[in-house]
Amino acid sequence: MSIDFKGRVAIVTGAGGGLGKQHALALARSGAKVLVNDLGGAVDGSGGSVSAAQAVVDEIRAAGGEAMANGASVTDFAAVQAMVQQAVDAWGRVDILVNNAGILRDKSFAKMDIADFRLVMDVHVMGAVHCTKAVWPVMVAQKYGRIVMTTSSSGLYGNFGQANYGAAKMALVGLMQTLSIEGAKNDIRVNCLAPTAATRMTEGLMPEDVLRALDPAAVVPAMLVMASQDAPTRTVLCAGAGTFEAAHITLTQGVHIGTGAHVPGELAARLAEVTDRAGEMVPQSGSAQGANEVSKAQARVQAAA
């Protein structure tokens, strides 16, 4: 399948380096006009300069592409709205949003300052919310949009010292679940990317030989697929070192136990049945959980009648 972005306009946040830079370069090489956003701060979010974003823009232009820089902080909704307007004013539309901006403030939960927890949540979660909220009316009006959230294995599966980061990254999966449902009628497809890549944010967290294997460019194909015209929606793609997987939030078939004083003890005794993954499903919406529970309760009543 050929992936072509000619005529498309993309915004990539946190694109001054690392994975975001690779996203921006790849979109531009495939024909997209790219707004390169980066605050230009340190890994922990301190400082800021538009020079990092401008350097990527210069690289895109030198290769014959079309791009412009933006230094807005994704935590500033007014600045984000102005960023989206910048793209619309220049190119008339926004087709693709890659929410990639992020920071780290790693520490064990016991030692973590609450301000560090809040800031990581603000950048990752509210940053993505701000950018998505700003592009949403544009995408609704043009009845087309592709949004990629950047989640993480730390959110999906946990990682020591990253309670704040993991909570933020899993929140983005929840955001994607609902937005993919709400956006469907206007062909707005929303997905999540869980990358494993060597960037400034992973320095010191992995051995050098592992870092060398985790070229950020190897993750980019997953983003291109999720940003393309034929993209899936409500999908979590994992990518690293040339390997691609999909992560799912599943629901087991479960067991109807009923109500009453006996339930806690019986639930404890039958917990292995409840968690048995045989026949598990991926619900199409949150209401499927309730539907499964009610159907089993009704079946028990009918069986007893």
8 Å CB contact between 143 and 187: yes
Token match 């994704």: residue? 74
Q: Nearest CA to 166 among 247, 248, 107, 83?
A: 107
- The DSSP secondary structure of 99-129, one letter per residue, reads E---------TTT--HHHHHHHHIIIIIHHH
Distance of CA 116 to the CA centre of its chain: 21
What 287-291 contacts at long range (C-beta under 8 Å, 24+ apart), as own/partner pairs, is 288/251, 289/251
Residue 144 among the catalytic residues: no
Q: Nearest CA to 201 among 150, 131, 149, 127?
A: 150
Question: Catalytic pick from 9, 57, 165, 188?
Answer: 165
| Residues contacting 294, CB < 8 A, separation 6+ | none
| Rounded distance between C-alpha atoms, residue 256 and residue 266, angstroms | 11
By annotation, the residues acting in catalysis are 165
